[in-house]
Amino acid sequence: MSNSLKDQLLALGLAPKKDVAKGKGNSRKKAAGKKPHDDADISLDQAYRIRNKEEQRQKQKAIAEKRELERRRREVNKKLKGIIDEFAVRDEKAEIKRSFVYKGKIRSVLTTAEQLKQINSGTLGVVYLRGNYHLLPADKVEEIRQFAPDHIPDLGGADSEEEQEHPVPDDLIW
């Protein structure tokens, strides 16, 4: 076992024999000065540098994409907030819960009896913004649907065959 790793690789035929003929020490300096022509000529150090540069580029690209998404989300939220502040239908006497499914969970908004009738008839809609649900006129909901459809919950409910056979009225209060 006194043989070096290089000698052992040569004995097994896994190392090229031309490196042994050149001698020790000079091969690394010569390889560093050469420009690689193909993947076989790239040294391990160069391969690591190339991989690190590629990883850095991918990280920078991911960060830039995330920043762009955040910027767009802030713009959409700002526009939504302006519309909600101006056109939201609010009533302090709202006590009736109108439930709906949004992002796979059952959510609810407080309404009055009149607002509940308007929601069920389609003249009022619900818009989500920053953890709250707001009632807006149907025309404003459609305007919001144009630029932020994911902020508008589906008030129609699930359309399974079982529910079609035995419909539950929207104005049912438990």
DSSP state of 92: T
Q: In this structure, is residue 121 part of a structural domain?
A: yes
Task: Output the pTM of the full model.
Answer: 0.56
Q: In this structure, is residue 134 part of a structural domain?
A: yes
CA distance linking residue 127 with residue 84, whole number of Å: 8
Least confident stretch, 28-32, 120-124, 140-144: 28-32
For residue 161, the model assigns a pLDDT of 59
Average pLDDT (84-94) is 85
Do residues 148 and 84 lie in contact, with contact meaning Cβ atoms separated by under 8 Å? no
Q: Which domain holds residue 113?
A: 88-165
Do residues 94 and 112 lie in contact, with contact meaning Cβ atoms separated by under 8 Å? yes
Q: In this structure, is residue 150 part of a structural domain?
A: yes
Q: In this structure, is residue 119 part of a structural domain?
A: yes
Domain tally for the chain?
1
pLDDT of 16 higher than 50: yes
Give the alpha-carbon dihedral of 44, 45, 46, 50, to 10 degrees: 100
CA distance linking residue 121 with residue 124, whole number of Å: 8
Q: In this structure, is residue 122 part of a structural domain?
A: yes
Q: In this structure, is residue 74 part of a structural domain?
A: no
- To the nearest whole number, what is the mean pLDDT of the chain? 80
For residue 9, the model assigns a pLDDT of 78
CA distance linking residue 79 with residue 146, whole number of Å: 12
Q: What are phi and psi of 104, to 5 degrees?
A: 80, 0
Q: In this structure, is residue 32 part of a structural domain?
A: no
Average pLDDT (74-78) is 92
Any alpha helices (H) in the chain, and if so which ranges? 5-12, 18-22, 26-33, 44-87, 113-121, 138-147, 161-165
Q: In this structure, is residue 67 part of a structural domain?
A: no
pLDDT of 53 higher than 90: yes
pLDDT of 126 higher than 70: yes
